[in-house]
Amino acid sequence: MENRKVSPKEIIESYNGRHLRIMEVCGTHTHEIFRLGIRKIVPESIELISGPGCPVCVTPVGYIDEAVMLSLDIGAVICTFGDLIRVPGTEMSLAVARSKGAVIKTVYSPIDAVEYAQENPDKKVVFLAVGFETTAPAACLAIKKAKEAGLTNFTILGANKTMPNAYLALKDSADAFLYPGHVNAIAGTAVCEQLVKEGVSGVVTGFTASELLTALAVVIQLTKKGKPFLVNCYPRVVKPEGNVPAQKLMNEVMEPCDAEWRGLGIIKGSGLKLRTAYSDFDARLRFNLPVITGKSNPECCCGNVLQGKCRPSDCKLFGTGCTPQHPVGACMVSNEGSCSAYYQYGGNFNG
Amino acid sequence: MDKIVTLAHGAGGKQTSELINRIFKAHFSNPDLTADDAAVLPVEAGNIAFTTDGFIVSPYEFPGGNIGKLSICGTVNDLSCMGAKPLYLSCAFVIEEGFPMEKLEQIAVSMEKTAKEAGVRIVAGDTKVAGKGQVDNIFITTTGIGHIMEGVNTSGKLAQPGDAVIVTGDIGRHGCTILLSRDEFGIDAEITSDCAPLWGITEKMFETTKEIHVIRDATRGGVGTVLYEIAEQSNVGIRLDTEKIPVAGEVSGVCGMLGLEPLYLACEGRLVVFVPKEIAPAVIEALHGSPYSKNAAIIGEVISDMPGKVVMKTAIGSQTLLPQPGGELLPRIC
């Protein structure tokens, strides 16, 4: 820094160095960056890329097909976070399945699904477990509760994911990551320190205007030095060790597995599945689901958007064939999705 | 009297009269409410405003009010927005079989109190009882007539560049209260609905100036939806200063946790007002004198650029478009 104290905003606005690609991997960051108008103050040489940080967006088409099959063919009651209902599957979304008689309940916590199963012992209740380290502990807690209560009518359709291997898979797409503060609040910072050794740079980032601007300014300043780095810019919430009880719980109930990410394909060790001791609660095993490979609309660019290879507005469906009211790709469904954020905050208006 | 409403109370016989006499006449009585088929009302010179609204809120009781209070406020406020002094209301009830009589009376008491405060008479009514499960507890429809004040002309088409945008209090309370009352989120917060009859503060504004271009009550869809409607109807742009928008700490806390935008949560006691910038401070001063509008604030201005759009000056001094939500409001999951 110079002698005078320079604000993060000034550092960002005055940046005139080489082209810099900064990827945020949290849906809430995507949303806040738009809401605060940060893209408007960032110079052209800085490219802000919205990565695969929205749990709904990275859920593959085949997963929706599995949920549709569970509801329509097996007659299960599907309990899910609301956003997932409108994500298109190969043939239909859960919303369409509902119009054909499927029972789909919106829940706000996996525990609600367990309680529903307890109150309705005659119904087969399946919770759609999507989400990262932030939501996986709640799913694990639900499984433990169901086991303690001896429930035989509750299962989950698992698609929980973890971020570390996704960063490695995406390391050539960005010069630095804005790490999702709430994921780090659970997982801690050790994983990101490990990534520094692999040449991956990033800053753990909070969600207020000043936290986001500070994180961007830190990335700008440290990239100039040319060495991989990690800085925790969200220390009021993120501790190096993370949330140990939540980690223990996840570790007790789930174990790593390979997982398919929409647009990115299979990433080794980036998923979570139930451990053998809890496999009774796995809907795929319980109902003997066949392996389903989904097919997305070939014109949809969600996959490239998630990797930062193109902007949402570069997709020819954007804003015409694909809108938040009639989404084609998952990134347009969720409020946290980058296509939805581009569309809602006026795409071109924000650049 | 029976403890619950039964189908017999809607059948037109003795029990119907008993219900009407003991509950509705007991609380709504006034010289214009007669036993005849229709109310006979004097016609005043000038123009009348005429409006109707149906209310099906769940839960029907919530912190800060109930469906009865809401049904009076909703129609009174719609009339007020047109600069019309609310005069007469009709109310039609559809009650689910088994609904507690005690609750019905509480609703009637709220309606009586709110109508009295708003200076409006309930002059006609109807009661139907529907079978169990056919309605959710109780539905109320109110219809109102008001007399438009002389020299007043408000419409969503009249916003002009140079107008200041005022909200008459902190936003999003009603929507937030209802969300939490449904108890689906496991969040406890001390939030009460802003539900209130607003003719009083409207009259005060018109006493200050007749040059009010637009008044809208920010009910379903909240202030954000109203602003987009007006931007479109008047073919102007609206620029908001996000820092100036009054939001109670509890409301912004809940919205922060659930990922909701207070601008899109319903209000039931807030008006959005467009007046020429020069007059706005006097209007704000008049509003600050009433408890229903003590937090009134100028939150933005009408601009000639970007017709049909609402833009926000953000906390970092940048500018962004206010996104328009589609479908239902959903809490975020990450």
User: Residue B55: which CATH number?
Assistant: 3.30.1330.10
pLDDT in tens, A123-151: 999 999 999 999 999 999 999 999 999 99
pLDDT in tens, B145-158: 999 999 999 999 99
pLDDT in tens, A254-291: 999 999 998 888 999 999 999 999 999 999 999 999 99
Q: Are A185 and A232 in contact (CB under 8 A)?
A: no
Predicted pLDDT at A351: 37
Domain with residue A251: its CATH number is: 3.40.50.11740
ipTM for the whole complex: 0.71
Please report whether residue B158 resides in a domain.
Answer: no
Q: List the domain range (segments joined by +) for residue A326.
A: 302-344
Contact B332 A28 (CB under 8 A): yes
* A258 and A199 in a common domain: no
Please report whether residue A351 resides in a domain.
Answer: no
Question: In A, which residues are within 8 Å of B321 by CB distance?
Answer: 344-346, 349-350
Cα dihedral across residues B8, B12, B15, B20: positive or negative: positive
Contact A26 B334 (CB under 8 A): yes
Q: Which helix (H) or strand (E) holds B287?
A: helix B280-288
Q: Out of B184, B309, B334, whose CB is closest to A132?
A: B334
* A155 and A98 in a common domain: yes
Q: Out of A36, A83, A134, whose CB is closest to B330?
A: A83
Nearest CA in chain B to A29: B334
Residues B67, B137: Cα–Cα separation, whole Å: 11
Please report whether residue A99 resides in a domain.
Answer: yes
Q: Out of A36, A81, A112, whose CB is closest to B316?
A: A36
Predicted pLDDT at B80: 97
* A82 and A110 in a common domain: yes
* B124 and B86 in a common domain: yes
Residue listed under structure tokens 């223990």: A248
- How many domains does the structure of chain B reveal? 2
* B254 and B189 in a common domain: yes
Q: Which helix (H) or strand (E) holds B179?
A: helix B173-181
* B191 and B114 in a common domain: no
B333 touches chain A (CB under 8 A): yes
Distance in Å, alpha carbon of A44 to nearest chain B alpha carbon: 16
Please report whether residue B21 resides in a domain.
Answer: yes
Contact A37 B319 (CB under 8 A): yes
Predicted pLDDT at B334: 42
**φ, ψ (nearest 5 deg) of residue B41:** -125, 145
Contact A325 B332 (CB under 8 A): no
Neighbour count for residue B41 (Cβ, 10 Å)? 13
Residue listed under structure tokens 């980690």: A247
* A256 and A126 in a common domain: yes
Q: Out of B259, B315, B326, whose CB is closest to A325?
A: B326
Q: Are A324 and A87 in contact (CB under 8 A)?
A: no
Contact B333 A55 (CB under 8 A): yes
Domain with residue A35: its CATH number is: 3.40.50.11750
- How many domains does the structure of chain A reveal? 3
Closest CA to B253 of B245, B262, B244: B262
> CB within 8 A of B70, min separation 6: which ones?
B55, B57, B195, B268
Q: Supply B325's token pair.
A: 């939500």
Question: What b-and-e string marks burial along B216-254, b requiring 16 or more CB atoms within 10 Å of the CB?
Answer: bbbbebbbbbbbbebbebbebbbbbebeebbbbebbbeb
Predicted pLDDT at B328: 55
Predicted pLDDT at A211: 96
Query: What pTM does this model have?
Result: 0.82
Q: List the domain range (segments joined by +) for residue B229.
A: 163-321
Q: Which of residues 282-311 of B touch A (CB under 8 A)?
A: 309
Domain boundary among B122, B148, B174: B148
One-letter identity of residue B214: V
B315 touches chain A (CB under 8 A): yes
Q: Out of B259, B318, B321, whose CB is closest to A36?
A: B318
Domain with residue B198: its CATH number is: 3.90.650.10
* A111 and A26 in a common domain: no
